[in-house]
């Protein structure tokens, strides 16, 4: 009730700090907000059916021997590009 009274009267609520060992632990609204944020973010739905990987043949159509740069488009993967360029995909990832 005290916190509610402070909120209604626009008094500042200060987070209590408690020292445990060598670390300071914040209690109060900080922990509550962090917990609610984790719960809210864990309910995100992802639809994998709306995405498909481009095949190396589709990627090869967009790459010519004179190109010095490559712009990723939706569906491009490092593996697909590495197949077209005939290099290891891990090496390709290091270049970026």
Alpha carbons 85 and 89: distance in angstroms, whole number: 10
Q: Could you tell me where the beta strands, DSSP code E, fall in 1-96?
A: 16-20, 23-27
- pTM for the model stands at 0.47
**Radius of gyration from C-alpha coordinates of the chain:** 26
As given in the structure block, the two tokens for residue 93 are 């990832």
pLDDT in tens, 35-92: 777 777 666 676 777 788 889 999 889 888 788 888 888 888 889 988 988 888 888 8
Q: Specify the pLDDT at position 13.
A: 56
């Amino acid at each position: 009730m005290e916190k509610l009274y402070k909120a209604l009267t626009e008094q500042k609520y200060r987070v209590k700090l408690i020292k445990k060992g060598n670390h300071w632990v914040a209690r109060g609204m900080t922990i509550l907000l962090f917990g609610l944020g984790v719960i809210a973010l864990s309910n995100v739905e992802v639809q994998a059916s709306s995405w498909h990987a481009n095949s190396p043949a589709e990627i090869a159509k967009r790459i010519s021997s004179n190109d010095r740069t490559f712009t990723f488009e939706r569906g491009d993967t490092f593996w697909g590009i590495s197949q077209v360029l005939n290099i290891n995909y891990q090496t390709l990832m290091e270049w970026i």
